[in-house]
Structure 1
Amino acid sequence: MLDVVLLLLGAHLACAGTHSLRYFFTGVSGDIDFPEFTAVGLVDEGQFFYFDSNTKKTEPKTEWIRQNEGEDYWNSQTQILIDTHQSYKVGIQIIKELFNQSGGVHTWQMMCGCELDEDGTKQGYMQYGYDGEDFLSFDKSTLTWTAANPQAVITKHKWDSTGEDAIYWKGYLDNTCIEWLQKYVIYGENTTKVAPQVSLLQKSSSSSVKCHATGFYPSGVTISWQKNGQEHHEDVYLAELLPNEDGTFQRTSTIKVSPEELKKNQFSCVVEHQGETFRSILKASVPIGFILAAVVGVFLLIVTAVAGYTVYQKKKGFKPVNASDDGPNGSARSDT
């Protein structure tokens, strides 16, 4: 049995609602041109730490974690994840044997995390996947693992044999994860707020116009459009919130406006963040200053970090285990 010690770092819960702390470990084997092992921590879909087996360094990705954890802390996490990488290398070879595979590119992934609602409701979940498909998931109610395919049954019986890991993970998901979420709320609340930079971007006079807000922190932002001073919702598309590499966020709203409409009416983008309002008026000629470089940088970072997670997370997403939950030092398994 190979037990791997992990660290769940925590979350920023500056706004009301449901908030989540999740992290992903991905081991990859085969002829690849990206890291064999990556670890990513996400808070409300925003990345707050990153590690890979090429750099062999755990990096903080938000200002609130940088301001509150020192060098010794990050050095210790780096050593933990270096050890975890070695365990995943062994684990993926074992699981390849279960599937009678000798070559090719294969992935062995783990997702673990918790959620906290504003009404105090808690959930926790832990799942493993192989080659983009479900493999094992933890059932907190029965303290057992659920196998998704025949190959996983062998691992299920092995992990269920003593029950020790199940007791540990129930305790982790019921207590520690949520405790760390709450701890990092304080970290986030004490971090300086950063206002957004707002730009209007257009490729040509006949193309859609993008209102791009970037560099803001915390993540809560509202982007809307006005036509002649009144709210306007027609032909408007709001993109998803994206993290920047420095721990701030960006978001884009797109509107379709014909040159004729623009001559007769005044359109403006209104961005609201932390009680402040930023307004940009759309003119007949908007300079091109497209944001592809920033967006591509974010996508490359996340794609490399998650290394196949997009395939593994089906449209329904991970099904949370009903729980109350937990936080920092834990142990995850790479053996099968």
Structure 2
Amino acid sequence: MASISDVVGVQQKSIGQPLKHSLKFFFTTSSEVKNFPDFVVVGLVDEVPLGYCDSISNTAEPKQDWSKKMIEDDPQHLEWYTQRCLLNQYNHKAQIYILKQQLNQTEAVHIFQRMNGCEWDDETGEVNGFVQFGYDGEDFIAFDLKTLTWIAPKPQAVITKHQRDRDRPNNEMWKHFLTQRCPELLKRYLALGKSSLLRTEFPSVSLLQKTPSSPVSCHATGFYPHRAMMFWRKDGEELHEDVEHGEILLNHDGSFQMSVDLNLSSVTPEDWRRYECVFHLSGVKDDIVTKLDKTVIRTNCGKTGILTLPVIGGVVGLLLLLAVCITGVFIWRRRDNGFRPTNSSDSSSSDPSSVKDAALN
């Protein structure tokens, strides 16, 4: 049986590969979470927030200048998203109620999530799609687009898998959305927002070190698009040991930042010249290579404030993402292309009717 990672892994493989674009929708429904909307959905084009809706406003809200212009020219598009927001909200809240009853759970904090979308290669025309559900931060069930069947990662979800496998019309609906409707929307959004979504911006790259004994961090900020890779290499060969890769974060201006740390505790000063940091931006031929040179490392040893800028930039970027979209996926993080476990187990079943409108179509 194929794994969930096999099905939804397409969303991470885009990093480092040129010419692939994505449209993704993230849903989070919660119960007993104070001071937080109990339903949030966000759409992203190439990881850039397209629009947002939650159970407080109950109205879809565009988040980019080009998406606002799109709504002005086509008000029905906004109405369509708003209707989908309301319908999914009611269905997903019912899901949590059903799962709590099935698992005999108390009125504690519970999270039900869904992520679905598509990727399109504008060179080959290849389209891939994914649908995945999670409960309390763990994988629950995912759709296999090739076989039009569902994958259950745990025995508790097998009943739901069989229910949904038998619902052929619903599975065909998912196929249509993932292979037809979603790519059509993606192409439309790329055309409308091409001045920003299809731009290329190169980063500034710095070497940072907190103390002389700390790892050296190669930090790149201000690049676009997010499809980028950064790594350390020695004598021209990529390093995998003593290296720690950070996540790609969103900056306040819509660009991205990332870092990769190198532990030099076992490296002699004479060997430093053999190391270099490489930044690769998808679709760009030439890489940015930064030699490991002690004279160019920025450090706060004996000073204050020098290393705070990248950190602040990351915090601002995270806060922006929180305000725009991460509120919709605050439990979901990339962990083998799945959901991160919390303090609750997987579900045993789910109401198949809840995905009748699940594709936002």
TM over 0.5: yes
Indicate whether 1:261 and 2:269 are aligned. yes
Indicate whether 1:81 and 2:85 are aligned. yes
> Does the 8 A contact of 2:25 with 2:115 survive in 1?
yes
User: Structure 2: 5+ residue runs without aligned partners?
Assistant: 1-13, 300-305, 340-355
Q: Give the corresponding residue for 2:10.
A: none
Indicate whether 1:213 and 2:220 are aligned. yes
Choose the corresponding residue for 1:295, options 302, 314, 325.
Answer: 314
Correspondence 1:24-173 to 2 at 5 A: 24-43=26-45, 48-54=50-56, 58=60, 65-66=66-67, 69-71=70-72, 72=75, 73=77, 77-78=81-82, 80-116=84-120, 119-138=124-143, 153=159, 157=163, 163-173=168-178
Could you tell me how far apart the structure 1 residues matched to 2:15 and 2:214 are? 38
How far is 1:29 from its partner?
0.8
CA displacement, residues 255-287 of structure 1 (integer Å, 9 cap, x when unaligned): 345797289859875656556776766526624
Could you tell me how far apart the structure 2 residues matched to 1:251 and 1:294 are? 11
CA pair 262-180 structure 1, distance change in 2 beyond 3 A: farther
How far is 1:40 from its partner?
3.0
Identical-residue share of aligned pairs (%): 35
- Please, what TM-score do these two structures have when normalized by structure 1? 0.67
Could you tell me how far apart the structure 1 residues matched to 2:145 and 2:243 are? 43
How far is 1:155 from its partner?
9.3
CA pair 110-271 structure 1, distance change in 2 beyond 3 A: closer
Report which structure shows greater RCO (CA 8 Å, sep ≥6).
Answer: 1
CA pair 54-276 structure 1, distance change in 2 beyond 3 A: farther
How far is 1:36 from its partner?
1.1
Q: Give the corresponding residue for 1:193.
A: 200
CA pair 94-260 structure 1, distance change in 2 beyond 3 A: closer
CA displacement, residues 157-212 of structure 1 (integer Å, 9 cap, x when unaligned): 4x678754333222212311223333444456543433323333221233222232
Choose the corresponding residue for 1:204, options 190, 204, 211.
Answer: 211
Q: Give the corresponding residue for 2:336.
A: 315
Give the partner amino acid of 1:99.
L
Could you tell me how far apart the structure 2 residues matched to 1:141 and 1:172 are? 14
Q: Give the corresponding residue for 1:332.
A: 358
How far is 1:107 from its partner?
1.8
Q: Give the corresponding residue for 2:257.
A: 250
> Does the 8 A contact of 1:61 with 1:247 survive in 2?
no
- Please, what TM-score do these two structures have when normalized by structure 2? 0.63
Could you tell me how far apart the structure 1 residues matched to 2:295 and 2:179 are? 54
- Indicate the SS of the match to 1:34: coil
How many residues align? The count is 306
> Does the 8 A contact of 2:37 with 2:56 survive in 1?
yes
Could you tell me how far apart the structure 1 residues matched to 2:286 and 2:180 are? 37
